[in-house]
Amino acid sequence: MDDSTSSLEHRVRAIEDRLEILNLIASHPPSADTGADYYTAEVYTEDGVFDRGEHLMGATGNLEIAAIMRTPGHQAAIHGGLAHFAGLPHIAIDGDTRWSLPTCRS
């Protein structure tokens, strides 16, 4: 493989990685606003952390994080018109390592 092919493959992979990250971030608002606990359990890792700060409920682990969707408070928020919005993040790709979502703060 010559340098131009290697460079092109690297660039395409970086584009694909960015698109996957954008899709994951974009999926949070509709999944949270509809209480899609099954989706939350799929996208968080077993050691994922949902940290909203010291005064708000958080959770560790995909199943515990997904369970938040079923809490009375979250269900009441959904029925009250809960509406999450996601902005476009700056994404920096640094190698090929496993990553996780940044800490979420409300």
Structure confidence by residue, pLDDT tens digits, 23-79: 999 999 999 999 999 999 999 999 999 998 999 889 999 999 999 999 999 999 999
Mean pLDDT, residues 7-34 taken together: 92
Q: Assess if CATH 3.10.450.50 describes domain 3-79.
A: yes
Neighbours of 5 (CB within 10 A): 9
Decide which of 16 and 104 is more confident: 16
Residue 34, token pair as written in the block: 């509809």
**Domain locations in the chain as residue ranges:** 3-79
What is the pTM for the complete model shown?
Answer: 0.71
- Assess whether pLDDT exceeds 70 at residue 83: yes
